[in-house]
Amino acid sequence: MEAILLIVVLIFSVVVHEVAHAWQARREGDFTADRLGRITLNPIPHLDVMGSVLVPMLLHFSGSGFLFGWAKPVPVDPRNYRDPVWGDIRVSMAGIVSNLVLAVLATIASGVVVKINATVGPLGGLTDLLGQAAFYGILINLVLAFFNLIPLPPLDGSHVVAHLLPEAAALRYRQAGRYGIPVLMALFFFAPGAFRYLMWPVTFFLGLADSFIRLWM
């Protein structure tokens, strides 16, 4: 049940992340993702079997202590944006903002569950289930948000950095994107300490969420 709950929360979180990209792209003037039916919370158009199911399950059962996954990236064409620079930045940041919002909502939900559990009782185990789902919602969405903020192509944070660089440097920076994910995976498997250092904001905000939840006890 725990593994199923993990996958459900993860899939919902990555789908919201991609829908946020697509929705913001439409606001900026690009209807590519909209025409392909990607502005929907139906997970089917977004699912990537490797990133949405297999990798998260492998990480969970390996006891790595790190949960991550992804959905199919939504196709966008920045040439259609009314403002190509700021449009690209806003579209890139939309996914990150959506995950931070979900993390905040999950934190509030966790506090409510704690309060119900303390005043009414476990309700036949329902509060335990909801509490676990809320915890996964906090953890997964913080990881998604701050992982995507890493300024390494093709992650979302790299779009902001690229627009701060001179044109020639930005081109070389974007071309380095083919090495971005392999570098991060190498850090994860061969230098986990360095990878955890990159993800220190997750630990920090998990602490803040825990402090908030304790107020409901």
> Would you name the residues annotated as active-site residues?
18
DSSP-based three-state secondary structure for 81: coil
Extract the tokens encoding 76. Answer: 């966008």
User: How many other C-beta atoms can be found within 10 angstroms of the C-beta atom of residue 87?
Assistant: 21
What amino acid is encoded at 149 in this protein? L
DSSP 165: S
91, 82 in Cβ contact below 8 A? no
**Nearest Cα to Cα of residue 40 among 66, 71, 69:** 71
Nearest to 68 by CA among 202, 168, 205: 202
Between CA 131 and CA 114 the distance in angstroms is: 7
Q: Is the bond preceding residue 192 a cis peptide, omega within 30 degrees?
A: no
* Tally of CA atoms within 13 A in the half-sphere of 204 that contains its CB: 7
How many angstroms separate the CA atoms of 14 and 73, rounded?
10
- Letter for the amino acid at 94? A
